[in-house]
Copies of this chain bind each other. A is one copy, B any other.
Amino acid sequence: MDKKIKAAVVGATGYAGAELVRLLLTHPAAELTGISSVSFEGKEISEVYPSFKKLGLPTLTDEDTAIEGADVVFAALPHGLSELLAEKCAASGTLLIDLGADFRLADEDEYSEWYKKPFDKPELHSGAVYALPELFRDEIRGAKIIANPGCYPTAAGLALYPALKLGLIGKSGIIIDAKSGVTGAGRSLTQNTHYPETNESISAYKVGAHRHTPEIEQTVSRAAGEHINVVFVPHLLPVNRGIEETIYCRLTTDMTEDEIRAAYVDFYKDEPFVRIEAKGVSAQIRNVARSNYCDISIHMDKRTGMLILCSCIDNMVKGAAGQAIQNMNLYFGLDEGTGIDTVPAPF
């Protein structure tokens, strides 16, 4: 490739932003031309994260300076701040890849119900695509705004889509018990994420009330061809990275476990980043941590007629920065794995 893609990261000192910086730095076809931060404008990012020292990174600037001349802008902002940035990008014809939630829900009513505010720039939303590459690749290529999926919805969507599309499970009563590493809660300090109160524990939070719920429902409803409600309960897991979701579904097929597994293997046969576990192996976080892979295992409980799916991703990579770069690669016609093909370490 002759010319590198010029990439800017807005909100570079939050965890998702920092992960973008980290991955873009060694991307062979992209160049990090600007990074911005409201809190640390004018400082070196290595003052915030000493792991970034001696790497020749640009200084943190304001948003406008950072995005100038960029081919693609990654937004890693608190929700509610991306629409204004999207307007700027639209004006200059720059691709926006938004890691926040502002453009993920197509239905404004649903958005308002969960986020307690309307769309600020409703006219921009028609150009936005919900960008889970393995499921919606064709739409992404023509997007104006790429709405990068949330972490929990990525793991849930990839696991449930085939079962619903192939009609293997009932459309009601799906239950998603999710466990996420603490980076999912971000860099901001809270009592819940203070080391001594997180370590050696686990607990559910936002039971039945997490904002990723409508996003999961949007994806599985597309697979099912009708609106589906799911029960979604996230838990704070004492690890840095990774999501494990154990998903409980009512079987409606008489296929065997092996046949269902084979159907999944087939469904994802051309997708390098989705891997189906062998019989008897459960998906686990350590097999995907710090990588862009999603591992899914398939278990049948014959006694109760349930299909149980375990789905694991790294919340910061496939659940955020890695998938954002996968979308960039896809949009610009690169191999999707460029720069994000790290093999997960087993330990």
A126-149 interface (Cβ within 8 A of B): none
| Most interface-central of A207, A230, A277, A281 (chain B CB within 10 A) | A207
Bitwise interface map of A from 148 to 189 toward B, beta carbon under 8 Å scored 1, else 0: 000000000000000000000000010101010111000101
A231 B195 Cβ-Cβ under 8 A: no
CA distance A50 to B172 in the complex (A): 32
A199-247 interface (Cβ within 8 A of B): 199-205, 207-208, 229-231, 233, 235, 237-242, 244, 246
Question: Does A103 make an interface contact (CB < 8 A)?
Answer: no
Min CB distance A245 to B, Å, is 10
A26 B200 Cβ-Cβ under 8 A: no
Contacts of A297 in B (CB 8 A): 204
Question: Does A264 make an interface contact (CB < 8 A)?
Answer: no
Also in contact, A55 and B191, with CB within 8 A (given A15-B196, A239-B238): no
B202 A182 Cβ-Cβ under 8 A: no
A196 B208 Cβ-Cβ under 8 A: no
Question: Does A87 make an interface contact (CB < 8 A)?
Answer: no
Number of A residues with CB within 8 Å of any CB on chain B:
89
CA distance A301 to B207 in the complex (A): 7
B187 A189 Cβ-Cβ under 8 A: no
CA distance A197 to B179 in the complex (A): 18
A194 B196 Cβ-Cβ under 8 A: no
Question: Does A256 make an interface contact (CB < 8 A)?
Answer: no
B240 A238 Cβ-Cβ under 8 A: no
A282 B203 Cβ-Cβ under 8 A: yes
Which residue of B has the minimal Cβ distance to A230? B304
A231 B345 Cβ-Cβ under 8 A: no
Give me the 10 closest cross-chain CB pairs, A-B, nearest first.
A208-B301, A203-B284, A201-B286, A51-B287, A189-B189, A177-B177, A49-B346, A196-B347, A207-B299, A51-B346
**6 A-B pairs in the complex with CB atoms less than 8 angstroms apart:** A182-B196, A183-B347, A195-B198, A197-B346, A233-B248, A237-B237
> 18 more A-B contacts (CB under 8 A) besides A187-B194, A193-B194, A342-B342?
A18-B346, A19-B345, A22-B343, A22-B344, A51-B344, A182-B196, A195-B238, A197-B346, A199-B238, A202-B239, A203-B283, A204-B246, A204-B282, A207-B299, A208-B302, A208-B308, A229-B303, A229-B304
